[in-house]
Amino acid sequence: MAIIDRGRVRVNCASEEVPGLAFTVSGSAEAVERLAEGRTVLLSHAVGTLKSATISGAADDGFRAQAQALGASVSPATLPDLVAGFGADAPEPVHGRKEAHA
């Protein structure tokens, strides 16, 4: 899979690597902010007291346990969230194989 933004390769990886690119955590704004602390947030949405954040990387078992304890849920990032998250305003670095070319 490749995500290209304005001629820059932002992501270039095999399809089996996609689940490790990012995940989404959803719940109360307080829980999501606490879980996202110190991590690279690619995208976030809030409605009232609820929030979701798409976070770079994979959620390990410890993160999932912490999320459950805070009443938040963890799910794979959707393709649209990955495209938006790694788009124009996304934080660096580019993810994927070094041989990526535009």
Instruction: Specify the pairing of strand 41-47 against strand 22-28.
Output: unpaired
pLDDT score of 30 more than 90: yes
How many domains in the chain? 1
The residue that leads in pLDDT, 42 or 90, is 42
What are 57's two structure tokens?
A: 């990387």
* 36: pLDDT strictly greater than 50: yes
Q: Is residue 102 part of a domain?
A: no
In a domain, 40, yes or no: yes
Cα separation, 79 vs 82, whole angstroms? 5
> pLDDT averaged over the chain?
83
In this prediction, residue 1 carries a pLDDT of 75
> Which residue range is the domain that position 30 belongs to?
2-96
101 is a domain residue: no
Neighbours of 95 (CB within 10 A): 21
Could you tell me if residue 16 is inside a domain?
yes
Q: Is residue 24 a part of any domain in this protein? A: yes
